Structure 1
Amino acid sequence: MRLLLMSDTHLPKRARELPALLLAELPMADVVFHAGDWVDTDTLDLLEARCRRLVGVYGNNDGPELRARLPEVAYVELGGVRFGVIHETGAKQGREQRCAARFPDLDVLVFGHSHIPWDTMAPSGLRLLNPGSPTDRRRQPHCTYMTATVAEGRLTDVELHRLPPRAPR
């Protein structure tokens, strides 16, 4: 099962649209995760229309319309792997221990907010993944998203994808 992970799209504030390379990946994914800060409902509508299955949450920049359609935390089991999705996990210091304590029944926690790609493992075995942002790199060298595979009850092939620079607005 192929997964695509993204967060912090901030459309149309940070970019006018999702990058073409990312849009081209959508049909290849069995499940797409979005860890919040959509900003507009058009992006949610687009992903709902183009994705086989979408698992998303709202973020701190998402207004009432998005909060009415999305949960703060989402849970899904895929191929025997227990996932959680949340927008914000707090400061990076102590993140693994804090998230492991809050989500003891998960195998993988997908999160966003910082726009900083993250892939670590808590001592408990919880894997934490932040795909960065495909539209707003902030102080990172690239806009990013992630792909991964679920096979035989395990998460494998986690890959961070760097997007080419976009034209100035």
Structure 2
Amino acid sequence: MSTRLLILADTHLPKHARDLPAEVWRHVETADVVIHAGDWVDERLLDELETRARSLVGVWGNNDHGALRDRLPEVASVEIEGIRLGVVHETGQAKGREERCSVQFPELDVLVFGHSHIPWDTTTATGLRLLNPGSPTDRRRQPFCTYLTATADSGRLGDVVLHRVTKATS
């Protein structure tokens, strides 16, 4: 049986939206693990995800301060269905990212990151999969707000889907 993942980053509540889009909350309810790669901004979202998610893995981002930094690590690492998965907010500029992350995180199979609000899905020469879900609330220069879902099963990450938010919240 596979483990369903919801992958988020850069929610920036309540700066860019008062709440997560309803479709994201529906995925929270069905996901086995919710992963958040930082820039929560408001501690209330962390509280609500801890209450509503079956399991939560999160880190703080550059816009997270105070209690969020007290409650969350800068880097998280977890094994899910045999996949060694890490979470960090920033990985630096896009140029050289694959090589830099391969050197910095040689023990991982998958690294989830945020910060840029730009969806990213590549695999490095060493086999490290890099995923950035974009942002479900702040598209910046992207055409859509986005988030990711995936499944983990027997050491394999599958069904990785980038979702466009169909209706943003205000």
Q: Deviations over 1:119-160 (max 9, x none)?
A: 000000000000000000000010000000011210011000
Q: Unmatched 5+ residue regions in structure 1?
A: none
Indicate yes or no: 2:73 matched with 1:71: yes
Task: For residue 79 of structure 1, report the CA deviation from its aligned partner.
Answer: 0.7
Query: What are the equivalent positions in structure 2 for 1:9-158 lying under 5 Å apart?
Result: 9-158=11-160
Give the number of equivalent residue pairs. Answer: 168
Distance (Å, rounded) in 2 between the aligned partners of 1:166 and 1:20: 8
The ranges of structure 1 where at least 4 consecutive aligned residues each deviate by more than 2 angstroms after the TM superposition are: none
Q: Unmatched 5+ residue regions in structure 2?
A: none
Distance (Å, rounded) in 1 between the aligned partners of 2:77 and 2:153: 18
Contact 1:147 1:157 in 2 (8 A): yes
* Normalised TM-score (structure 2): 0.97
* Normalised TM-score (structure 1): 0.98
Aligned partner of 1:160 in structure 2 is 162
Contact 2:21 2:167 in 1 (8 A): no
Contact 1:149 1:155 in 2 (8 A): yes
Q: Helix, strand or coil for the counterpart of 2:41?
A: coil
- Equivalent AA in structure 1 for residue 6 of structure 2: L
**RMSD over aligned Cα atoms:** 0.8
